Amino acid sequence: MSDDNPTARALALQAQACAGLGSAFSGALLASAAEDVAAGGPTADVMAPWAGRDVRAQIADAVPLRLLGALHDLALSGDAPALTALYPTADSAGDAAGAWGVARGLIAGQATRIGAFLGHEPQTNETRRSVALLPGFLTVAAETGLPIRAFEIAASAGLNSLWDRYHYDLGAAGQWGDVGSRVRLDTDWRGGPPPLGADVRVIERGACDRAPIDVRDPVARRRLKAYIWADQPERLARLDAAVEAVLAADASVDKADAATWPEQHAAPRDGAVTVLFHSVFWQYMPADSQAALTAAIGRLGQRASAAGPFAWLRMEPPPDNLSLMDIRLTLWPTGEERLLGRCHPHAAWVEWLG
């Protein structure tokens, strides 16, 4: 692959990453797209807005994942049955070579539609991260004995805001939650059990995101799904079930910046423990916003009391390593901070230290 074509190079790098992360279908599609760009085919035309940017900038802007999402969106839409027929299903791995042949024709013939999709910033909302947050909520409930007011920042579509309505299978450590829930979350749990017997009652909840996804909008809902790799049926099924739960709960996510929303909505109140939580978003905030949010959380902590504690629960990568996440809890009025555990970025495993 020629190094002097940054778009082709970025697509090829993402192809390798997808294949390495278990999505052979996505890897094969992107490898073909990389060749098409290098050869000046229709993919080069549709990716032209990024042509002047270097590989690093294109990866940072998730340009290859935009293309992958655009094709998956077309396959999901039903508007391109020949493409849909070659995409993976729960029972089949799909036909990547055949799908690319159809996709290349669609990229040429539906350049406006594809181009419009490419303009969206990719966004995923990974419900399984609730498996990593749950033990934090259990710890808060066990230690305070109070009902919970739960406020999520950077909530995307708000799927994890309903964490208490799902069912959890922590292997030998035990199970928790609503056995009737269609959202069934499991993980490779490492370590002793969290306090599964804690009395958990969520009496109030709220959520914000700077670009919330309204799952009531079928186009936005399909776009959210399109960014999941097509040969990952478990993630796709989990998303469908969680979206149903959000629709049934009629839950919504405020459009607001995480640096300002908590002080307006999540101040501690007597008679409950107020929990501000987030997962996998800290790195997207500029340093001044990170500092502003940290200061705001500190001020909220200062307003906490034994009758109205305040907790900051988060699943975020340590500064030097994006391949795993720390699960941290700070609980006021003492303001004691603890590393509760570590986990895989999608919570495929959780190592409990609590």
Ligand X SMILES: C[S@@+](CC[C@H](N)C(=O)[O-])C[C@H]1O[C@@H](n2cnc3c(N)ncnc32)[C@H](O)[C@@H]1O
* 139 contact partners, CB below 8 Å, separation of at least 6: 194, 195, 198, 329, 340, 354
Of 138, 150, 154, 226, the one binding ligand X by CB under 6 A = 154
Provide the β-strand partners of residue 131: none
Helix/strand/coil for 280: coil
Decide whether 106 or 296 has the Cβ nearer to ligand X. 296
Q: How many residues of this chain interact with ligand X, rule: CB under 6 A?
A: 20
Question: From the CB of 282, what's the least distance to ligand X, in Å?
Answer: 9
Question: From the CB of 129, what's the least distance to ligand X, in Å?
Answer: 5
CB 47 within 8 A of CB 71: no
**Span interacting with ligand X, options 75-83, 153-161, 188-196, 269-277, rule CB under 6 A:** 153-161
Of 51, 197, 271, 284, the one binding ligand X by CB under 6 A = 284
Q: Is 322 in the site for ligand X (CB under 6 A)?
A: no
String of DSSP letters for 31-84: HHHHHHHHTT-HHHHHTGGGTTS-HHHHHHTTHHHHHHHHHHHHHHHTS-HHHH
Decide whether 146 or 350 has the Cβ nearer to ligand X. 350
Of 34, 280, 304, 311, the one binding ligand X by CB under 6 A = 280
Question: From the CB of 37, what's the least distance to ligand X, in Å?
Answer: 26
Strands 336-343 and 325-332: antiparallel
Question: From the CB of 312, what's the least distance to ligand X, in Å?
Answer: 15
Q: Is 231 in the site for ligand X (CB under 6 A)?
A: no
Q: Is 209 in the site for ligand X (CB under 6 A)?
A: yes
Question: From the CB of 192, what's the least distance to ligand X, in Å?
Answer: 25
DSSP state of 122: P
CA distances from 299 to 80, 209, 262, 278 (A): 53, 21, 10, 18
Binding site for ligand X (CB under 6 A): 123-126, 129, 154-156, 160, 209-211, 257-258, 279-281, 284-285, 289
